Amino acid sequence: MDWLTDPLQFDFFVRALAAVVLVSVLCALVGAWVVLRGLSYIGDAMSHAVFPGLVGAFLTGGNLLLGALVAAVLTALGIGAVGQRSGLKQDSAIGIVFVGMFALGVVMLSRAPTFTTDLAGFLIGNPLGVTPGDLWGALAVTLVVGALLAAVQKELLLASFDPTEARAIGLPVRRLESLLLILIGLVVVLTVQLVGTTLSVSLLITSSASARLLARSLQKMVLLAAGLGILGGVTGLYLSYFLDTAAGATIVLVNTAIFLLALGVRRRES
């Protein structure tokens, strides 16, 4: 059992485990909606669309996380506005806003004298560099996102799959869609800071997609996505420790392997 307990003597490894567990649960809460509504592109788009917020905060000496949150909210509202007013499909709206926001960040960055490691670290992420403050922040966001989604679950389901009926009974469909996009943006910003862009998208989409293949209800899908994310995260961290590989990338590969296993199970059942 030494292989199981030896890594736990390091505080950074224990914090990384806690971060992966929290982020897996957080990503499962919104990842189920991302997969069910066919918004898989938005995770990667959001992680890049917050770039101008990061650069703006860096140039003004502000808080990077706050800058990213502001950009995420503006991006979410922009996607909703473009999709509703133009009549384009949501994936087209996501592409338009995401590319525009990222380009804005690049233009702003071209005015900066240097590109610091702090900003680069935020974009890349490092699960082994998580601090206790990061964990408390992740816990707070998980509770808030979970409470909000639980409060509007029935309304959001109806608005997602039968918007005509939802409007007919007076539900604020546009506001519900904007709320979902804002929550996705909030989750992406936090998880990118903790574990990096690649792992953030993997936990948001791959684990939820695996759960979608095996679960028959939204509640079971969320629970299974969280469990599979935790399994992949813990397994990946231990493998990265003993193989001396990049933690985030190793976790992504394990999550991908879990998805392939889930796909194989689904094909056998069908």
End-to-end CA distance of the chain: 39
* Position 170 confidence tier, pLDDT thresholds 50, 70, 90: confident
Q: What is the pLDDT of residues 209-231, one digit of tens each?
A: 899 898 888 888 889 999 998 99
| Mean predicted lDDT score pLDDT of the chain | 80
Please list the alpha-helical segments (H only) found in 132-196: 132-151, 153-161, 163-168, 173-195
The position carrying tokens 């509770």 is 143
- Six-digit token string for 165: 């009926």
Does 9-261 carry CATH code 1.10.3470.10?
yes
* pLDDT at residue 258, as a whole number: 93
Residue spans per domain, the chain = 9-261
Higher pLDDT, 95 or 20: 20
Burial degree of 156 (CB within 10 A; 0-12, 13-18, 19+): buried
Q: How confident is the model at residue 126 (pLDDT cuts 50, 70, 90)?
A: low
Q: How far apart, in whole angstroms, are the C-alpha atoms of residue 28 and residue 34?
A: 9
Tens-place pLDDT, residues 36-46? 877 767 766 77
Place of tokens 């993997």: 202
